[in-house]
Amino acid sequence: MKLDPNKFEWIGLQFLKINQDENNLLRFDEPKVIEHICGTVACHAGWCSVIFDLRDGIGKYLNFLHGANALSQYLGFQHSSHFAGWAMLNSDIWLTNNGGKMFKFDGYLAFGCWSGASCSLGIIGEHYIKVANKIRETAH
């Protein structure tokens, strides 16, 4: 499977943009970020529903499961489980040994964080950009 590093970088940049907007980080009760396992504003799958503008019939953002699948498909995987499995098996490219946990309760481990409180969207965005650079390095 040939991965497009530009797509990983673009996703990383989207997370960095969201992270810079303090209004996004302060809205703990916003429907777009509370319907996921970890219950934090740093759920990157939940924020992918916002990035890809995934909404139901009344305009509410869809939950993190839809965001996880949209992200995975955008990056070239069939399903979020395939992306997480790839990250777990390719820790040299994903840059942590816990990539398979990215859509689980302790998903912060996938990005090299040791607690949910220490894992911001900024850290997640930077991680995706580092992965993009690693994909570029390994393509040679």
Residue 11 structural domain:
5-138
Say what the pTM is.
0.87
Q: List, for residues 8-34, the tens digit of each pLDDT value.
A: 999 999 999 988 875 555 443 444 444
Count Cβ neighbours within 10 Å for each residue of 18-55 and write b for 16 or more, e otherwise: bbeeeebbeeeeeebbbbbbbebbbbbbbbbbbbbebe
Rounded CA gap, 50 and 32, in Å?
A: 7
Rounded CA gap, 134 and 75, in Å?
A: 15
pLDDT at 1: 81
Q: List, for residues 102-138, the tens digit of each pLDDT value.
A: 988 888 899 998 887 778 888 999 999 999 999 999 9
Domain count across the chain: 1
CA-only gyration radius of the chain, Å: 14
